[in-house]
């Protein structure tokens, strides 16, 4: 079982705050790292697929970075809005199986 | 384009009953997965399939069986339901083996309660 850790487990911020989360994964046999956004009562939806060390991806106010050598990825949200409230999941795919192994997620609540 | 469709969306079972959850995808994806989601546990892989006619165990396979007779369908069976199988079940599919692969696309989930 691959060890994929996310921190913090939950986060409460005020509207307009910027925030970031961490995903740690095995540094060997890397294939891809995914970030998903999961709103309550909905299905997870992909934000980013990251494959190369040093990758930086951006979608609106959300961005992510990747360090495969040390085994971590950061997700940043700039100027959080209440609609950003969701659980953010990362998933690690190894080169052996390609199967996404998910972390437990970071629950973000943005207060107006 | 429907993506990934799960049926049923909700189900209540009595202990010992059996049922089958159906997952269908129309994206011609090779890989399909069944996950369960429990509070504080994230998504845990039950079984997966890397192609038609193949299945494999994931992290928490006990009490479940699967079949993938057609590429577009992945069935999850509970032979004798137990209260510990009360959970939300998600099916997903992906096409991982091109360079970089694709992300997983999820169905809408099945909320199963075993009483």
User: Cα angle vertex B57, ends B25, A95, to 5°?
Assistant: 80
Confidence of residue B96 (pLDDT cuts 50, 70, 90): confident
**What is the pLDDT, as a whole number, of residue A96?**
76
**What is the pLDDT, as a whole number, of residue B99?**
58
**What is the pLDDT, as a whole number, of residue A47?**
96
Least confident interval from A1-5, B3-7, B59-63, B90-94: A1-5
Q: Among all residues of chain B, which has the CA nearest to that of A49? A: B103
Could you give the CA distance from residue B112 to residue B64 in angstroms, rounded to a whole number?
A: 14
Which residues, given as ranges, of chain A have pLDDT below 50? none
Say whether residue B39 is in contact with chain A using an 8 A CB cutoff.
no
Say whether residue A100 is in contact with chain B using an 8 A CB cutoff.
yes
Could you give the CA distance from residue B107 to residue B23 in angstroms, rounded to a whole number?
A: 8
Token pair recorded at residue A14: 């005020």
Of B41, B96, B107, the CB nearest to A98: B96
Say if residue B97's pLDDT is above 80.
no
Which pLDDT tens digit goes with each residue over A10-39? Answer: 999 999 999 999 999 998 889 999 999 999
Token pair recorded at residue B104: 């997983």
Could you give the CA distance from residue A5 to residue A91 in angstroms, rounded to a whole number?
A: 10
Answer whether A91 sits within 8 Å of B108, measured CB to CB.
no
Which pLDDT tens digit goes with each residue over B1-32? Answer: 679 999 999 999 999 999 999 999 999 999 99
Answer whether A49 sits within 8 Å of B101, measured CB to CB.
yes
**What is the pLDDT, as a whole number, of residue B98?**
63
- The number of residues in chain B equals 115
SS3 call for B83: helix
Residues of chain A numbered 21-60 and touching chain B (CB < 8 Å): 31-32, 34, 36, 42-46, 49, 51
Could you give the CA distance from residue B52 to residue A89 in angstroms, rounded to a whole number?
A: 28
Say whether residue B45 is in contact with chain A using an 8 A CB cutoff.
yes
Answer whether B97 sits within 8 Å of A104, measured CB to CB.
no
**What is the pLDDT, as a whole number, of residue B100?**
60
């Amino acid at each position: 079982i691959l060890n994929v850790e996310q921190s913090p487990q939950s986060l409460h911020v005020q509207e307009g705050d910027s925030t970031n989360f961490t995903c740690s994964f095995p540094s060997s046999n890397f294939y891809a790292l995914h970030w998903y956004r999961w709103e309550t009562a909905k299905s997870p939806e992909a934000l980013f697929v990251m494959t190369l060390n040093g990758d930086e991806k951006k979608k609106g106010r959300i961005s992510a970075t990747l360090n495969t050598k040390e085994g971590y990825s950061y997700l940043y949200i700039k100027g959080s809005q209440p609609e950003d409230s969701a659980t953010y999941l990362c998933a690690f795919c190894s080169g052996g199986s390609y199967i996404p192994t998910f972390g437990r997620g970071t629950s973000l609540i943005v207060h107006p | 384009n429907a993506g990934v469709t799960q049926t049923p969306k909700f189900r209540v079972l009595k202990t010992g009953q059996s049922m089958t959850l159906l997952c269908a995808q129309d994206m011609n994806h090779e890989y399909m997965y069944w996950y369960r989601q429990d509070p504080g546990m994230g998504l845990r892989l039950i079984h997966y399939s890397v192609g038609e006619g193949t299945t494999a165990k994931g992290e928490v396979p006990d009490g479940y069986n699967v079949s993938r007779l057609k590429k577009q369908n992945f069935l999850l069976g509970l032979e004798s339901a137990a209260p510990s199988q009360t959970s939300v079940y998600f099916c997903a599919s992906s096409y991982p083996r091109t360079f970089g692969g694709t992300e997983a696309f999820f169905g809408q989930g099945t909320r199963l309660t075993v009483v």
